[in-house]
Structures are given as structure tokens and as C-alpha cells.
Amino acid sequence: MPELAAYAVSDACSRGRAIAEPRPKARGEFQRDRDRIVHSTAFRRLEYKTQVFVNHEGDLFRTRLTHSIEVAQIARSVARTLQLNDDLAEAIALAHDLGHTPFGHAGQDALNECMQGQGGFEHNLQSLRIVDRLEERYGAFDGLNLMFETREGILKHCSSARARELGDLGRRFLEHRQPSLEAQICNLADEIAYNNHDVDDGLRSGVLTLEQLQGVSLFARHAAEVDAEFPCIAGRRRVHETIRRMIDAQVTDLLAESGRRIADAALASLDDVHRAPPLIGFAVAMDAENRELKSFLREHLYRHFEVLRMTAKARRVIHDLFSAFVADARLLPPQYQAMAAEGTIQRATADYIAGMTDRYSMKEHRRLFAVSEF
Ligand code: MG
């Protein structure tokens, strides 16, 4: 394993855990964080949560779980090549979507509407709430008691009002300081993963067509390369050869540009990272191509009528469930009734709904609203 750079997060320079624990015997602190995340209940739920396509629409589409694994793969490779802490990058990547509601962004928007006046709902904050409080696995503490830098990486963004409530962890938002390079890598790895796998899933579903994608330079450029090298391949194999080149081009660009920025910043410590501008990023040309791809996906995939139908239905399910539970807390499972008694009925309901998988939320909806089902 290559030695860590002086500005990488290490066990030695970490700000540690909120509750002190003995050092792990056969692994590093951030390996332990990753392991705790993998063993958590919230992590297993990701298997049945929507990325773009609802889970039951097909077995081969990405789910939050496979998305998180792809993000972790990219983040780990980039971190290792830049001599950064790949265990930390992996832990952040695997945890970054733990707080997602069922039905992807539609679910989050609906729950956020329900929670207006109650502090709103934001999936980043919910991921943090899960690892800090909601997981019930250890005798000595609530949550997973993760290292400070893992928690910092999970909290990608938050409002100033929220940042003030979060104390130490929120301070960087108020002081406009950057998180670790490992956290910055995860943000970019997330983008690379979803932009590329959404092209793949979009084509697989038939919502996107190859003709449309010819208008996207990153795709067209690499498809032409594939056609020149393998004139006889078509179909899924051609699509895959194209997408793997797109991912490779983005990762290669990210490594070169970030390496250059890191060298220019002459970093001597992790503290220098916090004070510097964002150092992980694409060069100008790739940034433009990436933005072109994103706006293409927004227009042709995320706003496609079939995706919007799913979105509309998801909103209805979340709104219905929320109203039913808030109107009568006795309908909640006992553990959430207890949470409502300690806090607010709205927050306990949001925690319950956010934890649901797509299919569980639909089942709950049937139980509460379908006259033919009890
Ligand atoms: Mg993600």
C-alpha cells in the first residue's frame, strides 16, 4: 500500500470519535468505519431504494446500493492514486446515500414539503442522523460512532441555520472551509458514477436512444473511438465499451487536474486542505463536457414523461403516509411512537418514512389506504 501524503486524513491526525473507543486490533480506524456502515440496517435498505428507475421496473437497473458500490470503486481508485486515504473515501462513498428516502429525489422533495415548518428534510442530514443516532446496534452508544472525518464527508452540504445547530461538524460551512480531499473525491466520484450509469440505464430502459446521445460530445467522441477499434460490435457491448471509456476519460482527467492543483497549492498538512479552495475537480474542457451530459440527462431522462409519472406517484405515496401518521401517531410502529413522544410526531414520521424501501412504502400505503387490503 502506498504511503499516505502529508495532507491525507490518517488515523493519527484524525479528530476521532465522539465517544472514545479502544483502537481496532487488526484494521485501521477508517476500515472499522467502513465495516460498521456495511453491517448497518440502513445500508441493506439501499438495495430496494430507487436511484432513477423504481426497483420493480427491472432487475438490472441501478439501485442506491449498486450506485453506492460504484461510487466507492471510483473514489477508492482516485484516492489511492493521489496517495490519499482510500479507506476513508470508501467509507464516505458507501454511506453517502444512506439517508435517501424511497423513490429517489422525488421522495426527498415530497418529504421536504411535508416537513416545512419543522426544519425540512434533506438526505445529507438524514444520512448523518442515521450514523449518529438512528442505527441501534451498539450497547454503549446510539448510531455508529464514526470518525469525525467520515461524518464530515457524509455531510456534503447544509444551510447556515443547520450548520449552527451542528456545532463542530457544521463550523466549516460557516467558515467556508473545505472538507478533506477524500470527501471532495467522493462528491466527484458520485457525479461520475451517476452520470455514466444513468446513460446506461436510460438506454437499457429505452427512455434514451443512441441517436439522442450522438448529440452529447462525451458520448459521441467515445462511441466513435469504439467504432474505429471494433467496427463489428453493436448493441449492449458497444454501449458498454463506450461508457467504460467515458468513465476512464473522466477519472483520468480528474486525476491529472486534481494532481496539478494539489501540487500548485503546496500542501503541507490536512489543515492546508481545509484552507485551500476546492482541489478535486475536472479541467475546464472536461467540466464543460460533464455539464453538457448532465443537462442532457436532466432534459431527456429525469424529465421524461414515464419517469415523471413515477415521480408524481411517489409524491402522492409520501404525502399520504405522512398525513396519516401525523394525524394519528397510534398508527406508527411502537418504536416510532416512542420517538414521537421524545421529539416531534413530524420528525419521527420523517425518520420512519425515510427509512422505508420503495416496496415497503407502497405496502404501507396499501395497508393504510386500500379498502381491499388489511
Ligand atoms: Mg449518490
Spacing, Cα 47 to ligand 1 middle (Å): 13
Final residue belonging to a domain, choices 308, 326, 341: 308
Does residue 2 belong to any structural domain of this protein?
no
Same domain, 151 and 295: yes
Say whether both 275 and 327 belong to one domain.
no
* Same domain flag for 149 and 241: yes
Q: How far is the CA of 329 from the centre of ligand 1 (A)?
A: 32
pTM of the predicted protein model:
0.95
CA of 124 to the centre of ligand 1 (A): 10
Q: What is the DSSP letter of 147?
A: B
Q: Is 89 helix (H, G, I), strand (E, B) or coil?
A: helix
Tell me how far the alpha carbon of residue 154 lies from the centroid of ligand 1, in angstroms. Answer: 11
- Into how many domains does the chain fold? 2
Would you write out the chain's pLDDT as a tens digit for each of its 374 residues? 568 999 999 999 999 999 999 999 999 999 999 999 999 999 999 998 887 776 666 777 889 999 999 999 999 999 999 999 999 999 999 999 999 999 888 899 999 999 999 999 999 999 999 999 999 999 999 999 999 999 999 999 888 888 888 888 999 999 999 999 999 999 999 999 999 999 999 999 899 999 999 999 999 999 999 999 999 999 999 999 999 999 999 999 999 999 999 999 999 999 999 999 999 999 999 999 999 999 999 999 989 988 888 889 899 999 999 999 999 999 999 999 999 999 999 999 999 999 999 999 999 999 999 887 66
Both 126 and 190 in one domain: the answer is: yes
Q: Domain of residue 318: give its range.
A: 309-373
- HSE of 312 in the Cβ direction (CA atoms, 13 Å)? 7
Cβ atoms 184, 278 nearer than 8 A: yes
Among 308, 336, 356, the domain-final residue is: 308
219 and 368 in a common domain: no
If we measure between CA atoms, which residue out of 47, 193, 39 comes closest to residue 131? 39
327 and 226: one domain? no
Among 289, 308, 327, the domain-final residue is 308
Q: C-alpha cell of 71?
A: 461510487
Distance from Cα 189 to the centre of ligand 1, integer Å: 9
Whether residues 71 and 161 fall in one domain: yes
Question: Domain of 97: which CATH number?
Answer: 1.10.3210.10
